[in-house]
Every structure is written in C-alpha cells, then in structure tokens.
Structure 1
C-alpha cells in the first residue's frame, strides 16, 4: 500500500528512477539485471587477469553469462526441492579452505576481495550456491554413472590406460651443444666437456647451477627443469633409463642430433611403487542396548559371554547365537581381513592393542558392547588395488563429464525459460 501511494502521486512518480529490471524468468525464479551486471563484472575481471584470453564483445559476454545464470537457477531450484542446505558451519569451513589455498588468512582474503571491488558477503553467498549446485550434480548425475569391473580391466590393458597410470618422472637436463656442421675437433671438445661435466655432477656438483652456466636448452635459466614427464613421452634411450633410476641419479652423456644430453631424476611418483597396507583378521560379538535391554544389562551380558569363552566355549557358536552385527553374525563374528582406517575409533584402538589370539575384555563403542579377538595380522602389497582404484576414478570422471553435459542440456530443455528483451 505504501508503494501504491507513492505511485498515485504525480510528483513523486516523476522522481522515481528504475533501480532494477527483469532479464529472465526461469521456472519459479527471476534473474534481475543487477545480478547479470554483477556477474559480468566478475567475469570481466577474471578475463583481464589472464594475458592469454581475449575479452569477448559485450553481446557475447552477456549471452554467455546469462545462460550460466539460467543453468545455475535451474540447479538451485532442483536443490531447493530436494531440501539441500549448506549450513553456516560448512560454509565457514569452505571459505577458510579457499583462503588457505591462496595462502591467506580469512581476514586477508576478505581484504583481497575488497581490493578487487568484491564484497565478502557476496563471495560467501556465491560459494554457498556453488556448494548446493555441486551436491545437486552429485545426486542427479553421480547416480547415473556405472563403471564395470570389465571396463576397469579393459582400461588397464589398453595403451591409454598404461600411459595414464604409468610412473611419472620429474626431470632436469643439460644440453652441451654441437653444431650440425661441427668439425671433428669441435665434436671431440664437446665430448670431453660433457664427460668432465658428468664426472663433476657425480662428485656432487650442483646440477641446477651447472645447467644455468653450461646448458644450451631453453630451460637452462630454470636449472634445466623439464617438469613432470611419463616414460612414454621421452625419447629413447631415456624412456628405459629413467625407469631404472632413483631420485638424484644422473645419466651419462647421450648423443642426440643437437649435442650431448645429461638427465637428472629429481622425483618420481605413481607407477608400480610398492604400497604396503597393514590388515588385521578379527572376529567379534556385538551386543546393542535396546528398549527391552538397558546399557547396563547389555554390558553384563557381554561380560558373561567373555567369561564363557574364557572357560572354553566356542566363540563361533556364541557369536552366531548372540551377536547383533548383521555383517558378521552368519560367519560366527568373523569380519575377515580389515584395515584400521575403515573402523570406528574405539573398535580400532582395542583391535590394534590386542595381542594375537588373546580375547579382549568387553568394551563399548558407538554401536554397542563388543568382545573381539585378533586372529592374525599381515602386511600386503596394495599396488594392484591402487591401480584399479585409479582406473575406476579415471573412467568415472570421464563418464561424469559426458553425463553432466547431457544432463545440463536436458534440464535446460525441460525448464520454462523466458528471456526478456
């Protein structure tokens, strides 16, 4: 009524200036010009910070940004209908993480945003929107993706799979040049120079310093650093040599068309490096308090079962009769081989501190009261499982990207969208 009274006054109406206008209707949501302007300003600022990216013309930028806002609105409405919420604690942790990734405290991050002309509250709200959208996508798209064991095995056996999961090497190199038209004497001098340099490096000379002083490669001023490479990306014979090297090793000078090359292995990662995992073979009896059995009564029952096993009764039979763990009761309480990090803290602590074959005294966890027995311990090489997990992750990520684009097109086509002129 207050707004209506203002509009009814001719003099006041003449003084009214439009503060905002509608640019799009997206199902039950509205996108306003102020939102579009703010997002366009943010995108312009991001593009300006990148020297390798040209600024699009205004019409193209507006169209692209508006389309992004439309898709965001659709996903946020899906999240609203699914009751997806991001509480203040989660949002605060996310902002702390973003600040830390930029090597800033939260207050420094706030100041940096202000310096760029951005409001901290606006940035915080945008992060909340992005977190909701991320959860919507995981729920809507993640459930559609299936990766079979056969797909994983086929990928591991393929050339692409072998390349993706092969070992990576952080390398540096020194190039002692030889001109194409070099005389025999010049070649001999380069050979002697490369050999002498190799001996000095073997005796502890600084490789990076030598590269800056001697090398003719483009990376000389970076200490010869070549970055991370896979063996398949290296020319022969380096592809074979680096696989046998340890970090810190240096190759003998190798003649190539441009001269002699000496390579140093700085680091390596991935590949077939042994990954040992500790596992425990354990069995237990779980008793849960309930409406008809109090916590104290449950503890006393656990103590009686402990005593009966100590007196010689069969653990398996008692577990099958009394245990309330649906995952192990049919196996007489046997949980098989487990890793500590997959277990509840109280259970893990007792299991790790229990000698082999010795029955633990009754103890309580969040699930109830337990009696456990460690049957054996072992350390296993986990390389094959890690390779399978890496292959699964690679295939799932690839399928996720494909499925996400298809899903975004689908929800865009199915949603009522009206763009205002």
Structure 2
C-alpha cells in the first residue's frame, strides 16, 4: 500500500517527495556569494509563504493530477489546467493555511509530542506498522520524516482551531434534531426484521352491512380469546381465511420495507408478543401478531451516582497537608456531619460542590482512571479513604448503581454530528473568507 494515498497525513507529508528541481530552480535567486536564496511568494500578516514551499506543493499537485489522468481510460483523459492556474490555487491554499496557523498561535493552540505521536501511531497502525517503523517506511518513498511530522502537527492544530471557531459554534435547532430523529427512525425501521403471523376473517368487498358487522364481531371475538391467553397459531388454523392458515398464520421474517403496506404502520409500533387491533382491508378483517424482531439493539450502560469532596494543592498546601485535611473531613462525616453541607463549604470542585458534591449518574470511564477505579470498587454507602488524581485529593461516596438505556441519547448525538456535518463546509468557507479578509496579504508572484 502506498503511503502517499493511505492516509490523510501521508498525503500531506509526501510533498517533500515530489520536489521538482526544475520548478525549484525557477523560484530561487543566486546571491552574491553564489548560494541559492529562497524567495517570498506571499507576505501574510507576520509571516510569509516561501517560493520553495510553493514549488514543493506545486510538484505534488501536478504529480497527483497527472497520476489521476493516467488511471483513466484514454478517451476520458483531458489536459491539465495551465500551470499558472494551478500555481494560483496552490498559493491560495498555502496563504489560508498560514492565516489559520497564525490565528491558532495567537489563541495558544498547540499540539504536544505525545498527542502527535498518538496520531502518527494510528496512521502507522492502519498501515500494519509501529510508530518506530514509520520513519523507515517513509524513507522508502523519499519522504522526509521531520517534514512529515511538522505537516501532521500543523494539520492537527488547524483541526483544533476549526473545532473551536467553527464546529463548536454551529447551532442545532430543536426542529432540526426532531426531523433528523424521525428520518433515522424511519430508516432503522426499514432495516429491522419482523417475524409476524396473521389471521384473516374474510368478508367480500361487496358484502352487505350485516355481513360486515358479522365479520367484525368474529374478529373481535378472536382477539378477545388471544388476549385471554389462547394460542394465536391454533386460532389461525381454526378460523383464518388466509392461505397461511395451516402454518399458524405465519408470514415469516420480513424487513420493515417488505412488510405488507396494510400492516406496516401497526407492526412497527408493536413489541414482540403484541397483537394488533382489527385492521379492515378489502378482503376482510385482519389481526397481526409480532412474534419477534431483530435489529433493535439497545445501548445499555452501567452508571454510578457518587459524590465527592476535592481539595487541591498549592504553594501553601502540599500533598501531605491536603491528605490530612481530607482525613479530618472524612472523620467529621463519619461522626455524623452532613456530607452535602461539607462539600458545599469546602470542596474545590465548584460545579459538583453546588450540588453537595453530587456528580450525578455517570459512567466510571468518564473519569480519570484513578477516580474510576475507586468509584467501581467502593461499596454503596461507604466513604473512601483520601486518594489522589491529577486534579488533587478526593474522598468519595457511592450512592447508587443503575443500568441505563442510552439508546435515545446515542441517536441524538449521532443526529447532532450529522447536522453539524451538513453545515460545517458552508460555515467553514465563510469563516475562512473572514479570516482572509481580515489579514494583510501581499502576493509577490
């Protein structure tokens, strides 16, 4: 697998591999000492885009466009745009990147080596490599690892900037969320599998009012017997006028999209074991039983409700002093003082302190590992010994456990992601235009 096309980062980092000597020679000037000096392609506020950067990126773009054309059938190939057009487009991309990086720097957005290594490890893993093997693999494709890392770091910085300035500010209205959930529900319904059975009390389409009334009475009586506990299949064998009567009325497994239109509205609202109210059709009166269904997977999570008191360290209060202070607080609570009152008065977790230290129902994995370990191991109603996390020193009490159906929450989160995705590109383009308009840009080509 080519590293140039196997990942987002590789496509960026591969720029160094395609540097074209002819193009670069045209973008540099000889100094008086005979040493090649780099030129400026554009000034961008406090920074600049060098002509060597532009030449490197141009080579990559031209090479990629050429490869794309070569992969097409001969009759579908077309000449590349003029180099001047490509150069203008590439320079605009580099200018916008410089504008974004400068804004990120002003906001203090940084990507540390640990975070960068995690991202590159993920790329390496997709290629079946370790992070340690990645430099050698890049070298085999003439890609400089240091440049690859720097390009990757810059793109992670820009991603975080976009999260801050664009994605986090996209508003989702209740109506948009409701419509998305309705579409998702309809789509899921069509993919579910339903096992249904059916009883038909046949009545001619030309039946008299008296015959219609008799058929309605009969189907109501059958429904009463089903509700009283009689077997639906046996009643179908005995009374159904449907061709499936001898199979106990079974219609087998059907996808939601394959359900008879007559039954679909009722069946999709039922739970396994439910029997519909009588449904009138041109052939008579129908009863439908939902025997089973597949595909309705609920998302269940184990949650814990706990409360805590947090004491942080500082220049005056070191770890030993913080631990001893919490021991004293613990003794007060064990002696009968109210946990909530103490947490409100002394806890330095200001959010939970306002609720008496109560953290609400949460999944233990939502917390740092040290906190989660105590939360999962502590019996209900027992007060922990003081323990330390990166946030400071804590004492903790577990109040309740529960198994929570998170299905609806997950659906709402998925819809929120979907709605933001549909709005992101337009919002991003407007944001980039504003950044560019506010920047000083002097093109030197």
Please, what TM-score do these two structures have when normalized by structure 2?
0.59
Separation (CA, whole Å) in 2 of partners of 1:344 and 1:124: 29
1:346 aligns with 2:370: yes
Task: Find 2:56's aligned residue among 26, 30, 38.
Answer: 38
1:26-175 superposed matches below 5 A: 26-50=44-68, 51=71, 56-59=80-83, 60-106=85-131, 109-157=134-182, 159=183, 161-162=184-185
Q: Are 2:65 and 2:80, in contact at CA under 8 Å, matched by a contact in 1?
A: no
Q: Classify 1:392/1:15 alpha carbon distance in 2 versus 1 (closer, same or farther; 3 Å).
A: closer
* Alpha-carbon offset, residue 133 of structure 1: 2.3
1:405 aligns with 2:441: no
* Alpha-carbon offset, residue 68 of structure 1: 1.3
Separation (CA, whole Å) in 1 of partners of 2:334 and 2:421: 52
- The Cα offsets for residues 273-313 of structure 1, whole Å up to 9 and x where unpaired, read as 11111111223344445666564454344334434444444
Task: Find 1:387's aligned residue among 402, 407, 411.
Answer: 411
- The Cα offsets for residues 389-410 of structure 1, whole Å up to 9 and x where unpaired, read as 1111111222222210111222
Separation (CA, whole Å) in 1 of partners of 2:311 and 2:99: 48
Aligned residue pairs, count: 317
* Alpha-carbon offset, residue 354 of structure 1: 1.6
**Most deviating of 42-51 and 293-302:** 293-302
* Alpha-carbon offset, residue 332 of structure 1: 3.2
Q: CA RMSD in A?
A: 3.8
Q: Where does the alignment leave 5 or more consecutive residues of structure 1 unmatched?
A: 1-11, 170-230, 244-268
Q: Classify 1:397/1:167 alpha carbon distance in 2 versus 1 (closer, same or farther; 3 Å).
A: farther
* Alpha-carbon offset, residue 321 of structure 1: 4.7
**Most deviating of 130-139 and 301-310:** 301-310
Q: Are 1:165 and 1:387, in contact at CA under 8 Å, matched by a contact in 2?
A: no
Give the match's secondary structure for 2:412. Answer: helix
Separation (CA, whole Å) in 2 of partners of 1:308 and 1:416: 63
Q: Are 1:272 and 1:383, in contact at CA under 8 Å, matched by a contact in 2?
A: no
Separation (CA, whole Å) in 1 of partners of 2:308 and 2:32: 82
Q: Where does the alignment leave 5 or more consecutive residues of structure 2 unmatched?
A: 1-29, 193-254, 269-293
Give the match's secondary structure for 2:383. Answer: coil
Separation (CA, whole Å) in 1 of partners of 2:120 and 2:394: 41
Q: Classify 1:80/1:368 alpha carbon distance in 2 versus 1 (closer, same or farther; 3 Å).
A: closer
Tell me the equivalent position of 1:417. 441
**Most deviating of 51-60 and 147-156:** 51-60
Tell me the equivalent position of 2:226. none
Please, what TM-score do these two structures have when normalized by structure 1?
0.62
Tell me the equivalent position of 1:355. 379
Q: Classify 1:61/1:163 alpha carbon distance in 2 versus 1 (closer, same or farther; 3 Å).
A: farther
Q: Are 1:285 and 1:323, in contact at CA under 8 Å, matched by a contact in 2?
A: yes
Task: Find 1:274's aligned residue among 292, 298, 302.
Answer: 298
Q: Are 1:299 and 1:362, in contact at CA under 8 Å, matched by a contact in 2?
A: yes
Give the match's secondary structure for 1:282. Answer: strand
